């Protein structure tokens, strides 16, 4: 599938999505958000894809937010549609049944920070900067930033960053638990691929079950403990469970088929 605002590639079970508006700091305009959803759908539907990595073109920006020039003239009704659409797509990333890693290679501001936070894991290069600078524009985050930042770093620090618009450097992001790892820029994709390779060796069924159960923690309408009991018992009817336990007992490496 060809895109105007993204570069995509599929290699060794990893589908990579590169946000590609370098002259605009990879700002997320409406076209890009729509293409992001199409790329995600393609990755989700492909049996060959075991994981997704989202990054930005160049070494300056992951994404410097929603496109300010595009929404500057919006009124409330258009802004509501923009936010609803963004929420829907970022929820799709968060609820994806394949792991999604944000490889944060520079500024992840506003919608860029929100996009990174909707991914299951974040790996940052040493010069990455996170932040929700919307208040400087007289607006608040609209793609989930007020909620996900609190989840990751707690109410007090999240409130501070949301109100001051201060940027969070990679080291602080690591300390606060916003990112999983910080790497040198040239090691960023290598680290992401290393994690994906480990996950790819597991049963795709259990990967989906773990992601669903973790996601349930954040949904008031689902009892995550109940879901875990259900999914745990479901494992016992699968070939992959038989393969995993047999391989352990026979002292060999398992070969999972996803059935
Ligand atoms: N929307 C639209 N355009 C953006 C953008 C955004 N969120 N962020 C950067 N750009 C554009 C700039 O307007 C500029 O375009 P131009 O060359 O046509 O003038 C280009 O990207 C380069 O940005 P510039 O500001 O010149 O780079 P910089 O290195 O001096 O600063 C940032 C980088 C990221 C700190 C700065 O661009 C910035 O603060 N961006 C906005 C961040 C933001 O408020 N995001 C939340 C949006 S809701």
pLDDT tens digits, 140-181: 999 999 999 999 999 999 999 999 999 999 999 999 999 999
- Same structural domain, 49 and 66: yes
- Same structural domain, 194 and 101: yes
pLDDT of residue 26: 98
The verdict on the CB of residue 69 being under 6 Å from ligand 1 is yes
pLDDT of residue 157: 98
- Same structural domain, 208 and 169: no
pLDDT of residue 184: 98
pLDDT of residue 158: 98
**Count of all residues that appear for the chain in the document:** 259
pLDDT tens digits, 64-118: 999 999 999 999 999 999 999 999 999 999 999 999 999 999 999 999 999 999 9
- Same structural domain, 110 and 154: yes
% of residues, the chain, pLDDT over 90: 98
- Same structural domain, 141 and 241: no
Residue 219 scores a pLDDT above 90 = no
The verdict on the CB of residue 134 being under 6 Å from ligand 1 is yes
- Same structural domain, 60 and 173: yes
- How far away, in angstroms, is 124 Cα from ligand 1 center? 20
Q: Tell me the C-alpha distance between 223 and 217, whole Å.
A: 8
Annotate 56-124 with DSSP letters as a single string: ESTTTEEE--B-HHHHTT--HHHHHHHHHHHHHHHHHHHT-SS-EEEEE-SEEETHHHHHHHHSSEEEE
- Same structural domain, 13 and 88: yes
SS3 assignment, position 212: helix
- How far away, in angstroms, is 253 Cα from ligand 1 center? 49
* Within-domain flag for 255: no
SS3 content of the chain, % helix, strand, coil (to 5): 50, 15, 30
Residue 221 scores a pLDDT above 90 = no
* Within-domain flag for 172: yes
Residue 1 scores a pLDDT above 90 = no
Range of the domain at 115: 6-200
- Same structural domain, 21 and 55: yes
Residue 107: CA atoms inside 13 Å, Cβ hemisphere, count?
Answer: 19
- Specify the CATH number for the domain of residue 74: 3.90.226.10
**Single pTM value for the model:** 0.97
The verdict on the CB of residue 24 being under 6 Å from ligand 1 is yes
Where in the sequence numbering do the catalytic residues fall?
A: 114, 134
% of residues, the chain, pLDDT over 70: 100
The verdict on the CB of residue 68 being under 6 Å from ligand 1 is yes
- Average pLDDT, whole number, for the chain? 97
Distances (CA, A) of 197 to 157, 200, 216, 240, 255: 33, 5, 25, 18, 14
- How far away, in angstroms, is 213 Cα from ligand 1 center? 38
Residue 220 scores a pLDDT above 90 = no
Helix (H) or strand (E) segment spanning residue 53: strand 51-56
Domain count, the chain: 2
Rounded mean pLDDT of 183-197?
A: 98
């Amino acid at each position: 599938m060809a895109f105007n605002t993204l570069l995509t590639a599929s290699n060794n079970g990893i589908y990579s999505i590169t946000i590609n508006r370098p002259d605009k700091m990879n700002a997320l305009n409406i076209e890009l958000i729509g293409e992001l959803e199409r790329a995600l759908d393609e990755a989700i539907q492909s049996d060959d894809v075991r994981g997704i990595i989202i990054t930005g073109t160049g070494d300056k920006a992951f994404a410097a937010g929603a496109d300010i020039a595009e929404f500057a003239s919006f009124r409330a009704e258009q802004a509501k549609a923009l936010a609803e659409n963004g929420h829907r797509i970022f929820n799709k990333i968060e609820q994806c049944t394949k792991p999604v890693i944000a490889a944060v290679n520079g500024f992840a501001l506003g919608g860029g920070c929100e996009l990174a936070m909707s991914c299951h894991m974040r790996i940052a290069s040493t010069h990455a900067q996170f932040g929700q600078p919307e208040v400087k524009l007289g607006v608040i985050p609209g793609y989930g930033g007020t909620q996900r930042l609190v989840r990751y770093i707690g109410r007090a620090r999240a409130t501070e960053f949301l109100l001051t618009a201060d940027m969070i450097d990679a080291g602080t992001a690591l300390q606060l638990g916003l990112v999983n790892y910080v790497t040198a820029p040239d090691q960023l994709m290598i680290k992401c691929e290393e994690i994906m390779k480990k996950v790819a060796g597991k049963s795709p069924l259990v990967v989906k079950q773990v992601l669903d159960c973790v996601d349930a923690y954040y949904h008031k309408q689902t009892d995550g403990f109940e879901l875990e009991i259900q999914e745990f018992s479901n494992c016992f009817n699968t070939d992959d469970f038989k393969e995993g336990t047999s391989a352990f007992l026979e002292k060999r490496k398992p070969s999972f088929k996803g059935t």
